[in-house]
Amino acid sequence: MLRHLYRRARHYALGGRYTLQMSGIIIPIVDQRSQRGLAIPSLTRPLAGGTLADTRGRQIRDLRISVTDRCNFRCTYCMPKEVFDSNYPYLPHNEVLTFEEITRVARIAVGLGVKKIRLTGGEPLMRRGIEDLVGMLATIDGIDLTLTTNGSALKAKAVQLKAAGLDRLTVSLDSLDDATFRAMNDVDFPVAKVLEAIDAANAAGFEQVKINMVVKRGVNDHQIVDMARYFRNGKNIVRFIEFMDVGSTNGWRMDDVIASREVVERINAVFPCAPANPNHVGEVAKRWKYQDAGGASAGEFGVISSVTEAFCGTCTRARLSTDGSIYTCLFAQKGYDIKSMLRSGVDEADDDAIAAALGGIWQQRRDNYSETRTAETAKERKVEMSFIGG
């Protein structure tokens, strides 16, 4: 029955609207990619090299780039397999930004103040030649270049990525318990391979890998303390992320969220810990130090409280979607089409025009979704995370 409903939902997935109701969970299904992009606003102030602020004074500092909307996992909270099945209409090749286009936008964004670039997706290591893109981006001066991966193809790629100039890595890992991990990625992928990949990344020179665990009540919360235990004496740092209402297909409910406060309480009961100062303003994760930390270990973990403690006030992140649109919030419903500008002629729009477009988009930014989230907003149709990049 469910399968049948999902099939009907997918039928409407291109431009159609459909609301799937199952067990009290409302899942609006719509392909936001087919919605027309927002009109690109003009600059409200002239661009001053290297600084660009939005309406709340938030500087642009980070650019997250989704290099593919495809993934080999079907994490139930991100790309549920009932929607993202073999017939799902992924972007055709010609809609996807080329490495040259991505690098051009990145270079222009760095001129406006971006200091950190994260490659993501979908699964970025599924994009053929990803190490070549890393090499191209690494030629841009003064940036911190990082990548988030599910780790499934990392063991084979870690050395190449390091050699190409990748600075840092984040690996997603939702459980150490194999059965739980396989159920969450929903493609029966074994946890041992991701753990091996993390070791391979450390050996390749990524000394401190960040480990992301999305915590979902009743699904993997029994793994919180085990994850803390496993990583607490090493250099890698685990970050516990609150389950978010991204996209329109993951059936999010507040009841499934475990607040970071509770995560800290559970860890503190076993391994006493204390808050640590942020490394920099606008750091997404709140740091906690183990009281008995010492030696060469990082001795800390982080919590990312996107739901229970909104950090919109310090949000400096822009996103470039797989098909070349700029989104100024993870929970946006629409983006600004930059690809058309990139492809607007043989000579292409000049870089100043693209800088002015990025500048105009950022200057009028007001986003604060997490400050205003309600059960109702959670049902709104938002663009999928795999498409704009987590």
Residues near ligand SF4 (CB under 6 A):
71, 73-75, 78-79, 121-123, 150, 172, 311-312, 315, 317, 329-331, 367-370, 386
Residue 45 vs residues 203, 208, 288, 368: alpha-carbon distances, Å: 48, 40, 40, 22
Residue ranges in 154-183 that form contacts with ligand SAM under rule CB under 6 A: 172
Q: Which amino acid is at 70?
A: R
76 binds, among ligand SF4, ligand SAM, none (CB under 5 to 8 A by kind): none
**Binding of ligand SAM by 189 (CB under 6 A):** no
User: Which H or E run contains 291?
Assistant: none
H, E, C per residue of 21-72: EECCEEEEECCHHHCCCCCCCCCCCCCECCECECCCCCECCEEEEECCCCCC
- The C-alpha atoms of residue 53 and residue 222 are separated, in whole angstroms, by 42
Cα 72–301–56 angle (5° rounding)?
A: 85
Q: Which structure tokens are listed for 210?
A: 């960040």
Nearer to ligand SAM, 31 or 384 (CB): 384
Identify the residue among 76, 103, 223, 250 touching ligand SAM (CB under 6 A).
250
d(CA 81, CA 68): 17
Residue whose C-alpha is closest to residue 3's, from 90, 88, 81:
81
Q: Which does 241 bind (CB under 5 to 8 A by kind): ligand SAM, ligand SF4, none?
A: ligand SAM
Residues 203-222 that bind ligand SAM (CB under 6 A): 212, 214
Q: Which stretch binds ligand SAM (CB under 6 A): 116-124, 196-204, 312-320, 342-350?
A: 116-124
Judged by CB under 6 A, does residue 248 bind ligand SAM?
Answer: no
Q: Does 149 contact ligand SAM by CB under 6 A?
A: yes
Nearer to ligand SAM, 220 or 363 (CB): 220
Tell me the pairing of strands 273-275 and 286-290. Answer: antiparallel
CB of 72: closest distance to ligand SAM in angstroms? 9
Which residue's beta carbon is nearest to the bound ligand SAM? 390
What is the binding site for ligand SAM (CB under 6 A)? Answer: 71, 77-78, 120-121, 123, 148-150, 172, 212, 214, 241, 243-244, 246, 250, 385-386, 390
